[in-house]
Amino acid sequence: MTMATGVSICSNALLMLGAQTINDFADQVNLDRAKLCANLYPTIRDDLIRQHPWNCCIKRIVLAPDAEAPAFGYSHSFELPADFMRVLEVSESGIQIDYLVEGRTIQADTTVLELRYVFRNESESTWDSSLVKLATLAMAAALAYPVTQSAAMQQTMEEKLEMSLRRARAVDGQEDPPQMLGDERLLASRFGSYW
């Protein structure tokens, strides 16, 4: 089994459109397609990763506050990691806290911030196979019109992408444990056998 790369994802998308593949993003033989892929792929990848908390794109980090506090509002500011895409959870000692994302920082009233976040995973070989398939379909949809000049082909690829996206999100979400809603004993006493 070959490992996925940005180039292999783009090449497979081109194959789906009946077009010649590329060897790399600077392929001189297929320069137009290579440039098109090189320009579109990073945006398509980042958008897909940000849309859903894919298990293969989640990290945890403990952040220390910046030297300079915010002018008002929260007591501390924390610089976001360079690969940050989306907040999943902000906590202190395992307990979720109030926060605000502002620019490339998180504002919060704590001195130690625990951040669980979606990161820009640029190592496609570590991706779940569903995410690889989605990236391929997303690239095929993005490349469909420029490569084939067919609006019908573009629409077909967009529909395939949407169906696959729903399925992949459901499968990825099934790997996560169910979230608990507060005190289970209280809920059980309130709702009895229905809970």
Shared domain for 63 and 115, answered yes or no, is: yes
H helix count then E strand count, the chain: 5, 7
Instruction: Report the number of distinct structural domains present in the chain.
Output: 2
By residue range, what is the domain housing residue 162? 6-53+129-173
Shared domain for 63 and 94, answered yes or no, is: yes
- Output the pTM of the full model: 0.82
Strands in 99-102's sheet, in edge-to-edge order, are 76-79, 105-108, 99-102
Compute the distance between CA of residue 3 and CA of residue 127 in angstroms, rounded to an integer.
9
Give backbone dihedrals phi and psi of 101, rounded to 5 degrees, phi first: -90, 125
pLDDT in tens, the chain (195 residues): 578 999 999 999 999 999 999 999 999 999 999 999 999 999 999 999 999 999 999 999 999 999 999 999 999 999 999 999 999 999 999 999 999 999 999 999 999 999 999 999 999 999 999 999 999 999 999 999 999 999 999 999 999 999 998 888 888 777 666 554 444 443 444 444 443
Shared domain for 73 and 110, answered yes or no, is: yes
Shared domain for 103 and 19, answered yes or no, is: no
On whether residue 84 sits in a domain, the answer given is yes
Compute the distance between CA of residue 179 and CA of residue 187 in angstroms, rounded to an integer.
14
Shared domain for 136 and 49, answered yes or no, is: yes
CB contact at 8 A, 43 and 53: no
State both tokens at 168.
């992949």
On whether residue 186 sits in a domain, the answer given is no
The sign of the dihedral angle between the CA atoms of 139, 42, 168, 56 is: positive
